[in-house]
Structure 1
Amino acid sequence: MAVIVVGSQKGGVGKTTIATNLAAWLVLQGAETLLVDADDQASASDFSAYREETRGSTGYTLVQINGSHVRKQVESLRPKYDHIVIDTGGRDTTSQRAAMYVCDVFVTPFNPRAYDLWTVPRLADLVDEVQSMRPTPMEAYSFINRADTRSLDNRQVSDALAEYQQLKFLPHPLTNRKAFANSAAIGLAVFEMEQPDPKAVAEIEALFNEITHGSYVTTPA
């Protein structure tokens, strides 16, 4: 099993979209999954409420935990689930640090914009700080979210992220597609839509398999 944190030092990069799609994807693989909403904005909880209305049930267990309680409560809940996904805020918070201390994997998305890159040094320093205090190292990954379909910015940001050894860069971008926003609006993952966007599904599949070291194939409903 794994505890996977989706976090950032900047808001608006798509953390909740990643976290909720990942939770739904893990459920699809047959995993008993816990989604922890550790963000003050509670977007993952809002998503889950829409999801329950749309599907009748979320398929995963949702809890809201904030502050230093994240670490202790996640540790106590760990034996009960195959995977735990934690959605944290877009800044350096007590919740995010607590989640990073207890997780196995830390994942951070970046939009392909210059101002997003300004946060990379701070985030790399945070990862170094947390790693130095953990009994065992966590895996830490970066990737591009909301990538432009055709833009030099994607390549420039990719090259910049690859320079930071603290955050292993994953060459599996998620493109800025309407499918992500349209599915989130009704509490669904992109692969759960009545007519799923096959390119969006393929992107999610490639990224999540890399993060989980899996080889799952997502079959759109």
Structure 2
Amino acid sequence: MAILVVAHEKGGVGKTTLAFNLASFFDGFLPTKIIDLDSNRMFTTLNSFRGYCNLKSFNVVDPTNISEEEFYSILSEYVGANDKLLIVDSGGYDSTDSSRIMGIADFILIPAGNKMVEILALQKYEAVLDRIRSAKKEAGFPDEMPCYVVFNRVHPNTKNYEETDLGRFLLESSHYKLLSSVIKDRSSFNNTLVEGGYTVLEKGSFDAKKEICDLGEEISEILYEKLNGGNDE
């Protein structure tokens, strides 16, 4: 199922938590590998906890432990693949590795909450996307940047998401598309991680499980259409 990059301009938005839980969702029915590009290697740390709790560890690659040749060989193996998935927990956006991966990604997932600081970060991030798009175009590749934003860590009572500040910004943006799935601010997401690297699908509340499954299914549908002759417009 190709390359899925979880990205954001700023830290602390729940990027790794989301990537960790999506890895659990996809790994249930599809060979899934993860590249941990975040500088703090939090995905790798959480994954190590799973062994202490007799849980199946995810197939995580630490790029600092492999050669550059091996790193790009992994990427080429997953571009446009239908039968397996590579999830990238992305780090800094000015790094060569992050920019290159985002340039070939089939799906870029951006978690964002309805906070002005995150809206400003998304605005700033547009310049990064434009640079990557220009580089792709100059190299003779389609300049599509499949960036999808999911409402993340939003208050459980929030309704009418498209009418929030973030929703209005996204509807007017030419850089992002808004997913219908929503991840709410639930204690279950944090509690499962600190209890030993569990995911909400393994030890979370019903609502948290449903939100991750809804998001995973929405991503799957978009990727299926894209990789089988459809489009994601």
Task: Name the counterpart of 2:86.
Answer: 84
1:10 is the counterpart of 2:10: yes
Question: Share of identical aligned residues, percent?
Answer: 25
Q: Tell me, which stretches of 5 or more residues in structure 2 are unaligned? A: 223-233
Whether contact under 8 Å (2:3, 2:105) holds in the other structure is yes
Task: Name the counterpart of 2:231.
Answer: none
1:165 is the counterpart of 2:174: yes
1:112 is the counterpart of 2:114: yes
Dislocated runs of 4+, deviation >6 Å: none
Task: Name the counterpart of 2:104.
Answer: 102
The one-letter amino acid of 2:156's match is: T
Whole-angstrom distance in 1 between the partners of 2:120 and 2:95: 18
1:1-221 alignment to 2 at 5 Å? 1-28=1-28, 30-58=29-57, 60-65=58-63, 69=68, 72-78=72-78, 82-89=84-91, 91-134=93-136, 135-136=141-142, 137-151=144-158, 155-185=164-194, 186-193=196-203, 196-213=204-221
Root-mean-square deviation over aligned CA pairs: 2.6
- The SS at the match of 1:173 is strand
The one-letter amino acid of 2:192's match is: S
- The SS at the match of 1:200 is helix
Aligned pair count reads 210
TM-score, normalised with respect to structure 2: 0.80
TM-score, normalised with respect to structure 1: 0.84
Whole-angstrom distance in 2 between the partners of 1:129 and 1:72: 21
Whether contact under 8 Å (1:71, 1:98) holds in the other structure is no
Whole-angstrom distance in 1 between the partners of 2:105 and 2:171: 22
Residue 158 of structure 1 and its aligned partner are, at CA, apart by 1.7
Residue 212 of structure 1 and its aligned partner are, at CA, apart by 1.9
Give 1 or 2 for the bigger CA radius of gyration: 2
Whole-angstrom distance in 1 between the partners of 2:43 and 2:71: 18
Q: Which moved more, 1:179-188 or 1:38-47?
A: 179-188
Change (3 A) 1:153 1:13: farther
Query: Alpha-carbon deviations, 1:35-59, whole Å to 9, x = none?
Result: 110111100101110122223431x
- The SS at the match of 2:53 is helix
Whole-angstrom distance in 1 between the partners of 2:24 and 2:105: 19
Q: Which moved more, 1:157-166 or 1:112-121?
A: 157-166
